[in-house]
Structure 1
Amino acid sequence: MQINVANRLPRTTDNACQLLFLFADGRLKGAARKIDKESDGQLKALYANGDFKGEKAETLLLHAMPGTTASRILLVGLGERKTFSANVWRASSKAASKAVLATPATQLISDSLNTISDETLSAADLAEQLACDLINSAYVFDLHPRRDTPSSPALEECVLSVDRSQLEETATAVQRGTSTATGMHLTRDLGNLAPNICTPSYLAERAEALATEHASLTTTIVDEEAMEAMGMGAFLAVSRGSQQAGKLIVMEHQGQKRAGKPIVLVGKGVTFDTGGISIKPSESMDEMKYDMCGAASVFGVMHAVASLQLPLNVIGIVAAAENMPDGNAARPGDVVTSLSGQSIEILNTDAEGRLVLCDALTYAERFKPDTVIDMATLTGACIIALGHVASAVLGNHQETIDALVAAGERSGDRCWSLPLWDDYQTQLDSNFADMANIGGRPAGTITAACFLSRFATQFNWAHLDIAGIAWTSGKDKGASGRPVPLLMNYLFNRLD
């Protein structure tokens, strides 16, 4: 789908839908006023008769309306003008995207961004969200062979008209929204792939393909033999139970000519998690293919960053392994030595994500990073605490935590800060090693972050627990593409 920005609507349209965002007060501006006038007040009549109230995310599809060359018009409500906000806009933008993609329209046109922008939400802000929603809503997973291949939406082009003075800013915003959504598509594809396809080796191949696609990217693959030589005993304790060899995947985007301290993103990439010897219940175990959504998010962000050629140095590290319970698997009670030299008593082999991540965090030290952000579907306790709305964020650098929370508010891909007090560290005490890999049921999300904090002492670090938001269960099961919008907005804010 191509999204273009212009200073006027196209004069001719072919199988188009015109998008009108309207407030509940019924005041019509721009194209809406023209259409109402030429249709003898049909839009105002819809308000008067109660057929359209302009409520948040309300939609109504109309056909053959005078005053437009489009064959259909989609009305989308924004609620009360005085309560209009970024949250309202996100809801209405998503509703509009879903509704228009359900039509056979191949073109979408709109000048509504001019008429609803204000001092808090510019036309560029509105366009960035709408572009992201349109492309993300058009996502179709088609990477598995099926007799009935899912059909893609018909929409091919969108033209957003804004004032001439806002053209450049809005075009940049649309590029950002488009690239964010494209990154989400890659994240969702990798998450949704069957675990017999999306193995650590497959992820390594995709990383190398990404480097071929983008000149700014270079990819390095660290295999198990190299890990053994380096002393990555925590990582190898997870991967050794599987016939699929583990991979540490490093993708580097050189966005600045001068070597600057990079932002490093680390993703948990457990491509399937049985729990190992501490095996999981069989119910819904198929969803454990999503235990690599942190890694998938790193892929999505690196793709978006390289597509936009962001002038930042960004490194993505993916700790890819499969957690299986064969005769070579780690046992509860085993003691392993991590890359940092710290020893770990493995009390539960289903707390494997922190084992692959801790060695990846130590590996990140070699890049002398400005900031390190890891993301992982790490704890069920995070779902109990925050449900399926927000990620948890914890770390050792308050400025980074605050920046992530702010980026979450702006993108709608929210995160919420939890404490990382030393009081919780004692739950990881071990009689036989420097630490245990679990701290019991109380404060499970926090003690998991406490564990990781012991490997993040050399840099500014934040941890995102995305267990509740990385995928959706039930009838609409599938990867969500989060937290790519959160991370992209964090990077945009670093630039702006």
Structure 2
Amino acid sequence: MNFELKSLTTAAAAREKCDLLLVLTTAASAQGSDALSALVAHALKAGDFETGAGKQLPMYNLPAVAARRVLLVGAGSGSARDVRQAVAAVASAFKAPGVAKAVLCFAFETQGPALAAAVLAASDACYTYTLTKSKPQLPTLQKLVFAAPAHASLAPAFKIAQAQVHGMDLAREWANRPANHATPSMLAEAARGLAKLPGISCKIHGPAEVAKLGMGAFMAVAQGSAQPLRFIELHYNGGAKGAAPQVVVGKGITFDSGGISLKPAADMDEMKYDMGGAASVLGLFQALGELQPAVNVVGLIAACENLPSSTAVKPGDVVTSMSGQTVEILNTDAEGRLVLCDALTYAARFKPAALIDIATLTGACVIALGGLRSGLFATDDALATALQSAGDTAQDPCWRMPLDEEYGEGLKSNFADMGNVAGRAAGSVTAAKFLQRFVGDTSWAHLDIAGTAWKSGAAKGSTGRPVGLLLHYMLAQESRGAAGKPATAKARPAAGKTAAKRASTAARTAAGKSPAATPVVTEAKAAAPARTRRSKPAQA
């Protein structure tokens, strides 16, 4: 499906030929003299319509309106949050039969963040998973036009929102795939597909290379599965040559049974989402390849399965990590931190300006924060502030959690340098303290996305988070012009290098199909929809 931005007044939008015209309205929308504004004023006066976010009034074959169907939609104050809520409320309208072209009209003066919120909410509404369905029900909608009065900031906002949509949809696509359709090897091929975008290169390390690197913790997790592990290395070189890169590390457990410490059977199917961190790294690189910001980024993904078998690692086993530190594996279901610790050690060779890992790490984080905010742990206040600001800008929020030294006491072991778990209390914090032992003095942050990476229940599926947060963080680094100083996510003037040739074909190649809308015009301070909490905690 194509997204397009057009500079249209409400009068011009009424003349646009389409199957569905959605008119986002505020109290100010009734003050115009055109037919749609008069209609809004009349409906408000009669008490048939309210402008509260998500309120609706459907109409059909209106005189002087080219669209067959018209839907007045309240947008509250017109803020990004209200617009997101309004567009989410009419999600079913985008998938209605016979709607091939729709126009989403802002019947008020809007700004970039609100437009970006509409783009992301519409993309979320239109996403459909199809890969493993024999007869997928595809929506008929092929084109969605965003119509707004001319405004200099809207085209840049639209471009960033488009790139974020493509990144989130790529992440969502891979996270939604069943584990037999998203093995470590398949994830590696998706990364190779991204290398077709400008400025991106990819290197894949197999079992032999990982053994040579001495990644004993990573290999221990993988040894119970017949699927060979993959260590994926992506580079985006958009900044100055030699400038310290931002390094992002994604947990890529393509299926987590818990290993010998087997999980309960209920909802274990959702453990295909345990590679949500890895999926977000892929999504980030998709967006970077389109926008071409002036920043250097390295992406690392440790991908494997965690399964029980005669060769699986056992509780009580001691393994040696790449750093040389030994770990007593007290619980094989606390495997994410084992694959991440070796990836974090590997990351040191790039002398990163900042090191950020992303992982569906602990059920404790779901209990603490639910499905609204990701957990943020950081050793650097400036980095933490930058990530929080980026999350707020993207409406992909996080919340900073503590890293007091005392929380690490529970990791002591009589038989190794540390254990891999420290009991139930403050589980998300002690997991972060484990990872902290492998980052040295590097400016480091850990995002625990166990509560935000996917939803359960009737709306089960990946959310594509935290691609928005990561993308806006990277754009903020570009705006500072220095990779060594984390920047807060303020409005960004332009998309750095030329973006005319950004092709969504790379996303299709990486995903094995087309997961997202075709990019059209320009860039944004975007807004990812708020997510509902899942019905049960995630894995450790």
Corresponding position of 2:215: 232
Q: Gaps spanning 5+ residues in structure 1: where?
A: 118-122
Corresponding position of 2:147: 160
Shift of 1:2: 2.8
Residues paired across the two proteins, number:
476
Letter in 1 for 2:405: D
Give 2:55's match in structure 1, choosing from 47, 55, 58: 58
Secondary structure of the residue aligned to 2:305 is strand
Confirm or deny: 8 A CA contact 1:5 1:162 kept in the other structure.
Answer: no
Q: 1:36/1:174 Cα in 2 relative to 1: closer, same or farther (>3 Å)?
A: closer
Aligned 1:54-453 pairs, distance under 5 A: 54-79=51-76, 81=77, 85-102=79-96, 104-112=98-106, 115-117=108-110, 123-146=111-134, 148-163=135-150, 166-167=151-152, 169-211=153-195, 213-453=196-436
Measure, in 1, the Cα distance between the counterparts of 2:464 and 2:432.
23
Secondary structure of the residue aligned to 1:28 is helix
Q: 1:35/1:97 Cα in 2 relative to 1: closer, same or farther (>3 Å)?
A: farther
Q: 1:181/1:36 Cα in 2 relative to 1: closer, same or farther (>3 Å)?
A: closer
Q: 1:103/1:490 Cα in 2 relative to 1: closer, same or farther (>3 Å)?
A: farther
Secondary structure of the residue aligned to 1:319 is strand
Confirm or deny: 8 A CA contact 1:34 1:67 kept in the other structure.
Answer: no
Shift of 1:10: 6.2
Shift of 1:107: 3.0
Confirm or deny: 8 A CA contact 2:240 2:295 kept in the other structure.
Answer: no
Measure, in 1, the Cα distance between the counterparts of 2:362 and 2:90.
34
Deviations 1:158-191 (A, max 9, x none): 142332xx34x32221111111111111111111
Aligned 1:31-42 pairs, distance under 5 A: 33-36=33-36, 41-42=38-39
1:22 aligns with 2:25: yes
Measure, in 2, the Cα distance between the counterparts of 1:427 and 1:186.
38
Letter in 2 for 1:179: A
Measure, in 1, the Cα distance between the counterparts of 2:205 and 2:176.
25
Letter in 2 for 1:149: P
Letter in 1 for 2:176: N
Shift of 1:268: 0.4
Shift of 1:222: 1.1
Shift of 1:205: 1.1
Deviations 1:194-216 (A, max 9, x none): 111211111111111221x3131
Corresponding position of 1:13: 16
Confirm or deny: 8 A CA contact 1:219 1:250 kept in the other structure.
Answer: yes
Deviates most, 350-359 or 360-369: 360-369
Secondary structure of the residue aligned to 1:378 is coil
1:45 aligns with 2:49: no
Corresponding position of 2:530: none
Shift of 1:493: 2.5
Which segments of structure 1 move beyond 6 Å, counting only runs of 4 or more? none
Corresponding position of 1:4: 4
Measure, in 2, the Cα distance between the counterparts of 1:28 and 1:473.
40
Measure, in 2, the Cα distance between the counterparts of 1:320 and 1:12.
52
Shift of 1:94: 2.6
Q: Which has the higher contact order (CA 8 A, sep 6+)?
A: 2
Letter in 1 for 2:282: F
Measure, in 2, the Cα distance between the counterparts of 1:261 and 1:137.
38
Shift of 1:110: 4.8
Confirm or deny: 8 A CA contact 1:3 1:160 kept in the other structure.
Answer: no
Shift of 1:218: 0.7
Shift of 1:100: 3.8
Q: 1:5/1:475 Cα in 2 relative to 1: closer, same or farther (>3 Å)?
A: closer
Q: Gaps spanning 5+ residues in structure 2: where?
A: 480-491, 493-540
Confirm or deny: 8 A CA contact 2:95 2:139 kept in the other structure.
Answer: no
Measure, in 1, the Cα distance between the counterparts of 2:362 and 2:247.
22
Q: 1:311/1:93 Cα in 2 relative to 1: closer, same or farther (>3 Å)?
A: farther
Measure, in 2, the Cα distance between the counterparts of 1:29 and 1:174.
26
Confirm or deny: 8 A CA contact 1:90 1:412 kept in the other structure.
Answer: no
Q: 1:304/1:98 Cα in 2 relative to 1: closer, same or farther (>3 Å)?
A: farther
Shift of 1:153: 4.1
TM-score (norm 1): 0.91
Aligned 1:452-491 pairs, distance under 5 A: 452-491=435-474
Letter in 1 for 2:242: A
Measure, in 2, the Cα distance between the counterparts of 1:158 and 1:97.
15
Letter in 2 for 1:265: V
Measure, in 2, the Cα distance between the counterparts of 1:270 and 1:377.
9
Shift of 1:98: 4.7
Deviations 1:99-158 (A, max 9, x none): 344363333335526x243xxxxx222222222222232111111141x21212414131
Confirm or deny: 8 A CA contact 2:81 2:114 kept in the other structure.
Answer: no
Shift of 1:65: 2.1
Deviates most, 238-247 or 154-163: 154-163
The percentage of aligned residue pairs carrying the same residue is: 40
Shift of 1:266: 0.7
Corresponding position of 1:120: none
Shift of 1:373: 1.0
Secondary structure of the residue aligned to 2:181 is coil
Letter in 2 for 1:126: A
Measure, in 1, the Cα distance between the counterparts of 2:264 and 2:359.
21
Deviations 1:317-338 (A, max 9, x none): 1110100111111111111111
Measure, in 2, the Cα distance between the counterparts of 1:103 and 1:263.
45
Deviations 1:228-272 (A, max 9, x none): 111111101100111111111011111125232111111100001
Measure, in 1, the Cα distance between the counterparts of 2:341 and 2:308.
21
Shift of 1:59: 2.3
Confirm or deny: 8 A CA contact 1:377 1:466 kept in the other structure.
Answer: yes
Measure, in 2, the Cα distance between the counterparts of 1:276 and 1:204.
23
Shift of 1:352: 0.1
